[in-house]
A and B are shown apart, each in its own frame.
Chain A
């Protein structure tokens, strides 16, 4: 990123260089995490006109939906899997565009709901967004997250669907990141 290039410019430049069916790992800092997330979604939804599924273990759906709308992102094009609100007392199940899962340990449940939501979107071009590997690692073992990511990426490849995996650069274990780098098309660092 040059001195004059903003974070949003960098995200757009990097994302425009990717081919359809991309799987990308985004490594960023805690300070830039939300800004990077919003810029990526802004590109995916508003510029590339993709529909998508956003899996969150970091922040609740209600918070995210409002924050994204404030950034001008059309959240009607995004379905959510919220893995965190039930830990704060929210009931599991579906409410509108969001499916609430009991907790971030329920990796297979997330995978099953993802299938449902992707099939709801239909044959249109789509993406999934995982927020974030570093948060999922708070609740799960490295080995289960490695297996989960691998199975998710295989699913994306099979369905020719785009994928964005977010992680805090400093908090994710090197071994997990190395495994993911091997499976992704590109790693984008946003400092």
Chain B
């Protein structure tokens, strides 16, 4: 049996938890409520991808304006402005893009999965990306509405990107303190993996945690770890106590 090729995230402790990274070509749901570190984790994955593994990446946002995304990154060591300028990391706003090509958000483009799929596939192909982040799949699903359409969208996205050897993070926004992985309940069944980010309070202070819930075809650690955001990027530490 051929050995599974892996895509190291570059986040040391996460790669240990994943037993060597994401399976190459996998579609991984990173689920968490607001403030749990989803965007930082996925951007670190992209920037470390280009810096440490010479893999181009694409970040697609539907939730935050580009200038905000970039501004929030400036304090991190992993952020490399040159990578953005050279196109090693492509950061695009799907809303801006839809306006450029004459479509209104919420109507045709976002409501039609084929159009989004085309844009994503062509971008990945165009920049020879090996890593893609869609922030967020929840925003796309919100416009698709129909579970069947959502299922098809994620399935087709995963299949076509896997064929290009591109490993994808789909960011899933979930309500706080609910043990669910997606808003529509479909996303997690189509994804190859789930990384759950949560928060809890200990003596009045909020702490973040990370847990690898599922990674198809891979043995991985299943324990909940403390996620600490530092200027050097994300660090994980064994959880001592949850409350």
Residues of A near any B CB (own CB < 8 A): 93-94, 102-103, 105-109, 111-113, 115-116, 139, 141, 143-144, 147-148, 151
The answer on a CB contact under 8 Å between B241 and A113 is no
Whole-angstrom distance between the Cβ of B176 and the nearest chain A Cβ = 20
The answer on a CB contact under 8 Å between A108 and B240 is yes
The answer on a CB contact under 8 Å between A109 and B226 is yes
A143–B241 Cα gap in the complex (Å)? 9
Total B residues in contact with A, Cβ cutoff 8 Å:
16
Whole-angstrom distance between the Cβ of A144 and the nearest chain B Cβ = 5
Residue B228, interface by CB 8 Å: yes
Give 1 or 0 for each of B180-221: 1 = CB within 8 Å of chain A CB. 000000000000000000000011010100000000000000
Instruction: Out of B203, B230, B231, B239, name the residue touching A108 (CB < 8 Å).
Output: B239
A65–B219 Cα gap in the complex (Å)? 46
The answer on a CB contact under 8 Å between B228 and A113 is yes
The answer on a CB contact under 8 Å between B240 and A112 is no
The answer on a CB contact under 8 Å between B240 and A148 is yes
Instruction: Out of A106, A112, A143, name the residue touching B235 (CB < 8 Å).
Output: A112
A107–B239 Cα gap in the complex (Å)? 9
The answer on a CB contact under 8 Å between A112 and B230 is yes
Residue B97, interface by CB 8 Å: no
A97–B213 Cα gap in the complex (Å)? 37
Q: Which residues of A contact B127 (CB under 8 A)?
A: none
A103–B237 Cα gap in the complex (Å)? 17
Residue of B nearest to A111 (CB): B237
Known A-B contacts A93-B231, A109-B226, A116-B232; the reply to A102 vs B237 at CB < 8 A is no
Q: Which residues of B contact A94 (CB under 8 A)?
A: 231
Whole-angstrom distance between the Cβ of A109 and the nearest chain B Cβ = 5
Known A-B contacts A108-B228, A112-B230, A115-B235; the reply to A103 vs B205 at CB < 8 A is yes
